[in-house]
Amino acid sequence: MNDLPPPRSDILNLKSYIAGAQINDTIRLNANEAPAAAGDTGLNRYPEVRPLALRNRLASLFDVPAENLLVTRGTSEAIDILMRTWCKAYRDTIVTTPPTFDMYRLYANIQGIDILEAPLLGDNFSFDVSAILSACGSGSKLVFLCSPNNPTGSQISQSDLAKIIEATKGRSIIVLDEAYIEFSERGSFAKLALQHNNLVVLRTLSKAHGLAGVRCGAAIASEAVINILSKVLPPYSFPTPAIQTVLDILSDKHLQESAAIVASVVSERARVSAHLEKLDCTTFCWPSEANFILVHFSNLKMILSHLAERKILIREFSDKPELKNCARITIGLKEQNDALINALEDFVERAK
Ligand SMILES: Cc1ncc(COP(=O)(O)O)c(C=O)c1O
d(CA 85, CA 94): 12
In this structure, the number of other CB atoms found within 10 A of the CB of residue 307 comes to 19
d(CA 323, CA 27): 60
Atom of ligand 1 nearest to the CA of 101: 1
d(CA 140, CA 172): 6
Q: Which residue has the higher pLDDT, 212 or 322?
A: 212
Q: Residue 139 has what pLDDT?
A: 87
CB 314 within 8 A of CB 329: yes
Which residue in 155, 174, 179 sits closest to 75, CA to CA? 179
**What pLDDT band is residue 44 in, cutting at 50, 70 and 90?**
very high
Strand 69-72 versus strand 114-117 pairing type: unpaired
CB 70 within 8 A of CB 233: yes
> 255-301 pLDDT, tens per residue?
999 999 999 999 999 999 999 999 999 999 999 999 999 999 999 99
Task: Give the residue, out of 71, 103, 294, with the most ligand 1 atoms within 8 A of its beta carbon, to mutate for a pocket test.
Answer: 103
Q: How many residues does the chain have?
A: 352
d(CA 7, CA 109): 19
d(CA 86, CA 208): 29
Q: How many A from CA of 30 to the centre of ligand 1?
A: 37
Q: Cβ(72) to ligand 1 under 6 A?
A: no
Nearest Cα residue to atom 2 of ligand 1: 179
Q: Residue 123 has what pLDDT?
A: 86
As annotated, the residues of the chain forming the CATH 3.40.640.10 domain(s) are 11-250
Angle (CA) 1-89-232 rounded to 5° is: 55
Q: Cβ(197) to ligand 1 under 6 A?
A: no
Residues in contact with 189: Cβ distance below 8 Å, sequence separation at least 6, in sequence order: 158, 161, 176, 178, 199, 201
DSSP three-state, residue 54: helix
CATH of 11-250, one of 3.40.190.170, 3.40.640.10, 3.40.50.1100, 3.30.70.20: 3.40.640.10
> 169-205 pLDDT, tens per residue?
999 999 999 999 999 999 999 999 999 999 999 999 9
d(CA 86, CA 216): 22
d(CA 89, CA 93): 9
| 287: preceding bond cis by omega (within 30 degrees) | no
- The pLDDT of residue 206 is above 90: yes
As annotated, the residues of the chain forming the CATH 3.90.1150.10 domain(s) are 254-351
Mean per-residue pLDDT, 10-39: 93
Residues in contact with 248: Cβ distance below 8 Å, sequence separation at least 6, in sequence order: none
Residues in contact with 45: Cβ distance below 8 Å, sequence separation at least 6, in sequence order: 22, 28, 31, 33, 240
Q: How many A from CA of 76 to the centre of ligand 1?
A: 6
Task: Give the residue, out of 73, 204, 246, 328, with the most ligand 1 atoms within 8 A of its beta carbon, to mutate for a pocket test.
Answer: 204
% of the chain with per-residue pLDDT over 90:
94
Q: Which fold has domain 254-351?
A: Aspartate Aminotransferase, domain 1 (3.90.1150)
DSSP three-state, residue 186: coil
Q: Cβ(178) to ligand 1 under 6 A?
A: no
What is the C-alpha R_g of the chain?
22
CB 4 within 8 A of CB 198: yes
- The pLDDT of residue 221 is above 70: yes
- The pLDDT of residue 80 is above 90: yes
d(CA 230, CA 217): 14
Query: What single-letter amino acid sits at 22?
Result: Q
- The pLDDT of residue 34 is above 90: yes
Atom of ligand 1 nearest to the CA of 73: 11
Nearest Cα residue to atom 13 of ligand 1: 179
Q: How far apart are the first and last CA of the chain?
A: 66
- The pLDDT of residue 61 is above 60: yes
Nearest Cα residue to atom 3 of ligand 1: 179
Q: Residue 155 has what pLDDT?
A: 97
- The pLDDT of residue 1 is above 70: no
Mean per-residue pLDDT, 11-27: 93
